[in-house]
Amino acid sequence: MLEAMFFIAITAEAMTAALAAGRRKMDWFGVCLLACVTALGGGTARDVLLGHYPLYWVHNPYVLLLVCGAALLTIAMARVVDKLRWPFLLLDALGLVVFTIVGCNVAIEMGQHPLIIIVAGMVTGIVGGILRDVLCNDVPLVFSSELYATVSIVTGVLYYFGLQANLPPDLVMLVAIAVGFTLRVVALILKWEMPKFVYDKDLR
């Protein structure tokens, strides 16, 4: 079931990336490339940082076709898409928490320190979006918008401590996903944000 959600998450990330590419008037190839970087960049960054080879998509290259397919489908149905704002945001929220769980699992299997397990989940959840924003020449949204990375951290903490408490793994996973997902959706609706740090002097 986690695997099914993982593929849904990858597809959703690919589609939001395709829309971002469209806003930058990229060509079809650029759309596919940005979709791959966004959907697979988080897991790739995690694996490179942890030295966990081979990378997921090198081992299962067909996921590249899935991502490019989802990106091209988004081009085809772009006119319908703006009626789908909420389904998209919900899928993106699901993607965030599912990527987090997958990332934690990789670090747990490698026997990493608890802090690194949480970081691995967060990197998997947010780095794809950061790379998308850097390639689109924006300051990454995750640095300043509604709770996003925080959702990933909360999900990872719940998941890790649930497993530590010897609760049934499937239950722990479901609860972590449900809590993370709900937190993200509520943050979107109520526009919850972290406090901002505003500093306008230039030290240089």
Cα-Cα-Cα-Cα dihedral sign, residues 63, 94, 37, 116? negative
Q: Cα 126 vs. chain centroid, distance in angstroms?
A: 5
Nearer to its own copies, 44 or 124 (CB): 44
Report the site for its own copies in 28-57 (rule: CB under 8 A).
28-31, 33-34, 44, 48-51, 53-55
Report the site for its own copies in 58-77 (rule: CB under 8 A).
58, 61-62, 64-65, 75
* CB-based contacts of 11, cutoff 8 Å, min separation 6: 39, 66, 67, 70, 91
Contact pattern for its own copies over residues 96 through 125, marking x by CB under 8 A: ----------------xx-xx--x------
Element (H, E) at 13: helix 2-23
Nearer to its own copies, 35 or 158 (CB): 35
Q: State which of residues 26, 174, 175, 179 lies at the interface with its own copies (CB under 8 A).
A: 26
Site membership for its own copies, residue 85 (CB under 8 A): yes
Q: Cα 190 vs. chain centroid, distance in angstroms?
A: 21
Q: State which of residues 5, 9, 10, 19 lies at the interface with its own copies (CB under 8 A).
A: 19
CB of 168 to its own copies, least distance (A): 28
User: For the stretch 119-129, what's the b/e string if a residue is b when 16 or more beta carbons lie within 10 angstroms of its beta carbon?
Assistant: bbbbbbbbbbb
Site membership for its own copies, residue 201 (CB under 8 A): yes
Please state, in angstroms and rounded to a whole number, the distance separating the CA atoms of residues 144 and 150: 12
Size of the site for its own copies (CB under 8 A): 68
Nearest to 11 by CA among 81, 90, 66, 78: 66
Please state, in angstroms and rounded to a whole number, the distance separating the CA atoms of residues 202 and 204: 5
Residues that bind its own copies (CB under 8 A): 16, 18-19, 21-31, 33-34, 44, 48-51, 53-55, 58, 61-62, 64-65, 75, 78, 81-82, 85, 88-89, 112-113, 115-116, 119, 130, 134-145, 149-150, 193-204
